[in-house]
Structure 1
Amino acid sequence: MPSDNAHLLSRIPSLAYIGLVLTPLFWAGNAVVARGTVDAIPPLSMSFWRWVIALAVLLPFGLPGVWRQRQVIRQHLGSMLALATFSVGAFNSLLYIAATTTTATNIALINATIPIFVALLAWVLLGDRTRPIQAIGIALAVLGILTVVARGDVSVLTGLQAQAGDLIMVAAVFSWGLFSVLLRRQAVPLPALTFLTTQILLGTLVIFPFYLGDLLFFSGGFELSRDTALPLIYFAIFPGILAYGFWNHGVHQVGPSKAAIFMYLTPVFASILASVFLGETLGLFHIIGGALILAGLLLATRAGGRLPAYRKNA
Structure 2
Amino acid sequence: MNAPLKPSTAAMLSLAPALWAGNAIVGRLAQDLISPFALNFFRWGIAFVLLLPLAWHVLRKDSPIWPMWRQFMLLGLLGIGCYNALLYLALKTSTPLNVTLVGSSMPVWMLAIGSLCWGIPVNRKQIAGAVLSVLGVVVVLSRGDLQTLLNLHFVAGDLFMVLATIAWAFYTWLLSRSTGPQEVKSHWASFLMAQMVFGLLWSGLFMGGEAALGGFRFVMGWPLLATLLFIAIGPAILAYRFWGLGVQRSTPAIAGFFGNLIPIFTALLSVAVLGESPHIYHGVAFALIVAGIVVSSRR
Q: TM-score per shorter chain, which class?
A: 0.7 to 0.9
Matching residue of 1:309:
none
Determine if the alignment matches structure 1 residue 174 to structure 2 residue 166: yes
Aligned residue type for 1:28: A
Aligned residue for 2:92, secondary structure, equals coil
Q: Report the CA distance shift for 1:291/1:217 in structure 2 as closer, same or farther (over 3 A).
A: same
> How far apart are the structure 2 equivalents of 1:69 and 1:262?
38
Determine if the alignment matches structure 1 residue 94 to structure 2 residue 86: yes
Which of 112, 120, 138 does residue 112 from structure 2 map onto?
120
Matching residue of 2:224:
228
TM-score normalised by structure 2 residue count: 0.76
Which structure 2 residues correspond to residues 70-109 of structure 1 after superposition, within 5 A? 70=63, 72-104=64-96, 107=99
Which of 109, 112, 129 does residue 121 from structure 2 map onto?
129
Determine if the alignment matches structure 1 residue 138 to structure 2 residue 95: no
Aligned residue for 2:60, secondary structure, equals helix
Matching residue of 1:271:
267
Matching residue of 1:299:
295
How many angstroms does 1:42 deviate by?
0.8
Aligned residue for 1:153, secondary structure, equals helix
Matching residue of 2:199:
203
Matching residue of 1:213:
209
- Whether the aligned pair in 1 keeps the contact of 2:9 and 2:250 (CA below 8 Å) is no
Identical positions, percent: 31
Which structure 2 residues correspond to residues 276-291 of structure 1 after superposition, within 5 A? 276-278=272-274
Aligned residue type for 2:167: S
Which of 237, 245, 253 does residue 233 from structure 2 map onto?
237
Which structure 2 residues correspond to residues 25-64 of structure 1 after superposition, within 5 A? 25-64=18-57
RMSD value, Cα: 3.8
> How far apart are the structure 2 equivalents of 1:89 and 1:151?
37
- Whether the aligned pair in 2 keeps the contact of 1:110 and 1:145 (CA below 8 Å) is no
TM-score normalised by structure 1 residue count: 0.73
How many angstroms does 1:182 deviate by?
2.6
- Whether the aligned pair in 1 keeps the contact of 2:76 and 2:199 (CA below 8 Å) is yes
**More displaced 10-residue stretch of structure 1: 127-136 or 145-154:** 145-154
Cα deviations across residues 65-110 of structure 1 (Å, max 9, x unaligned)?
A: 442862x312211111111111101011111112224455665565
Cα deviations across residues 191-230 of structure 1 (Å, max 9, x unaligned)?
A: 3222210111100101112201212322232121111111
Q: Report the CA distance shift for 1:106/1:298 in structure 2 as closer, same or farther (over 3 A).
A: farther
- Whether the aligned pair in 1 keeps the contact of 2:58 and 2:190 (CA below 8 Å) is yes
How many angstroms does 1:246 deviate by?
4.6
Return 5+ residue gaps in structure 1 as ranges: 1-12, 306-314
Matching residue of 2:3:
none
> How far apart are the structure 2 equivalents of 1:229 and 1:215?
20
> How far apart are the structure 2 equivalents of 1:18 and 1:212?
38
Q: Report the CA distance shift for 1:187/1:107 in structure 2 as closer, same or farther (over 3 A).
A: farther
- Whether the aligned pair in 2 keeps the contact of 1:104 and 1:271 (CA below 8 Å) is no
> How far apart are the structure 2 equivalents of 1:251 and 1:82?
18
Aligned residue for 1:220, secondary structure, equals coil
Q: Report the CA distance shift for 1:177/1:294 in structure 2 as closer, same or farther (over 3 A).
A: same
Return 5+ residue gaps in structure 2 as ranges: 1-5
Determine if the alignment matches structure 1 residue 183 to structure 2 residue 175: yes
Aligned residue type for 2:198: L
Aligned residue type for 2:72: M
